[in-house]
Structure 1
Amino acid sequence: MMAIHWITLIAVATAYITSGNPLKDPQLGTIHLLSGGTVFVLFCLRCIAFLLLHKDFPKNEIINKLQNFLFKTVKVLLYALLMIVPVSGYLALSSIADSYSLLGQNVYVIESLYGDFYLGDIHQVLGNVFVSLVGLHACAALFHHFIVKDNVLKSMI
């Protein structure tokens, strides 16, 4: 689970750095699509591992009800966005390209979405919300490490 967590972070950061219209810069577009696809595959692996192993991180006592509520809310939002952002990216790609080649292979696009350019805007907004939540998640880990002085951050390293 830790490996999936940190590889997902690298894939999310790569997708964010290379964001933009993949048709305008094919090299960055390829990196963006591959990293977004990696995020989605890792999300699926994370779900399978969780279901099979019943392990979740971090293993730590919750301080109070507010912290428990915030933890669960951010976790649900992060998991939802790990799935929704890559799917919305695929839909956004379908809205701007009637065909797309990725590493020499044709990517199936949903032709009926071609021309619905607002899908790219939705993907971008969701991506920004996701990265903001990741930042909040990182701040919470640092808060636990430096203020609360528990083992939340250490358990993930």
Structure 2
Amino acid sequence: MQPARAPVYDATARLFHWATAALLLIQYVLAWTMPDVHRDTKPIGLIAWHLGVGVAIFLLVLVRLLWRSVHAAPPEPASLPPALRALARYTHWLLYLLLIAVPLMGWANASSRDWAVTLFAAIPMPPLSPAGSSVGHALGDWHRVFAWVLLALVGMHVAAALFHQFVLRDGTLGRMLPTHRKAASPEQ
């Protein structure tokens, strides 16, 4: 008889999670390889891709939050201490907040530069600040700072998942991984 496994997230929740992770990875690679943005920089090439992926992350997280509002997360392992349970909850909500705020700040900054922001290089998005806006320009600086905060938080999230897997051994990591469970036969 095998030990009981922790309840897992459904396939849609796992898809949202891993799609967000993949887009974030792409976004950080774009950010680190694109040219520096200066006063006369044009939104072409990697910069245009960075803008588009940012919009995709923003929209994906909104859809993910809508999904989550009507599909509850599976219960956490009972062995998880209340302090870790609270820390996990606050960390997840802070991740969601930054996954929305960081793209919005970048989008507002692009709008203040009078750059067109598109989704998938085809669907135009409305400007979030007027061209020349000092607030939009300032949000570009905050975008950079909070992008680093988001990266640090993602790193902590990954470290926590590995801690659960290899130290606590409580099945938390398996809740977000694809499952290959066999249906139990009646004689078991």
- Taking structure 2 as the reference length, the TM-score comes to 0.73
Of the three residues 69, 75, 81, the one matched with 2:98 is 81
Deviations along 1:43-98, whole A, 9 cap, x unmatched?
Answer: 111111112222x2573235223212311221121111111111111111122x22
Q: Once superposed, what is the RMSD of the aligned Cα atoms?
A: 2.3
Per-residue CA deviation, residues 14-47 of structure 1 (Å, 9 max, x unaligned), is 1122125394561111221121111111111111
Q: How does 1:4-23 map to 2 (within 5 A)?
A: 4-19=16-31, 21=37, 23=41
Conserved in 2, the CA contact under 8 Å of 1:99 and 1:107? no
1:38 matched residue in structure 2: 56
AA in 1 matched with 2:98: L
1:138 has 2:158 as partner: yes
CA distance in 1, matches of 2:25, 2:74: 21
| Residue segments in structure 1 that go unaligned for 5+ positions in a row | none
Bigger relative contact order, structure 1 or 2 (CA pairs below 8 A, ≥6 apart): 2
The answer for the alignment partner of 2:87 in structure 1 is 70
5+ residue gaps, structure 2: 1-12, 178-188
Question: Which piece of structure 1 moves more, 75-84 or 58-67?
Answer: 58-67
Call closer, same or farther: CA 1:101–1:77 in 2, change over 3 Å.
Answer: closer
* Higher gyration radius (CA): 2
Aligned equivalent of 2:114:
98
Task: Point out the structure with the larger helix share.
Answer: 1
> Cα gap change, 1:58/1:17 in structure 2, threshold over 3 Å: closer, same or farther?
farther
Equivalence for 1:152: 172
- Please state whether the residue corresponding to 1:26 is helix, strand or coil: coil
Count of aligned pairs: 155
Distance 2:149 2:57 in 1: 16
Kept in 1, the 8 Å contact 2:108–2:129? The answer is no
Report if aligned partners of 2:111, 2:117 keep a CA contact under 8 Å in 1: no
Structure 1 counterpart of 2:152, one-letter code: S
| 1:141–1:152 CA contact under 8 A, matched in 2 | yes
Question: What CA distance in whole angstroms lies between the structure 2 residues aligned with 1:107 and 1:21?
Answer: 20
Superposition TM-score, scaled by structure 1 size:
0.85
Asked if structure 1 preserves the Cα contact closer than 8 Å seen for 2:77 and 2:172, the reply is yes
Identity %: 28
One-letter code aligned to 1:41: L
In structure 1, C-alpha distance between the alignment counterparts of 2:132 and 2:87, rounded to whole Å = 39
Contact 1:88-1:122 within 8 A present in 2 as well? yes
Match of 1:120 in 2: 140
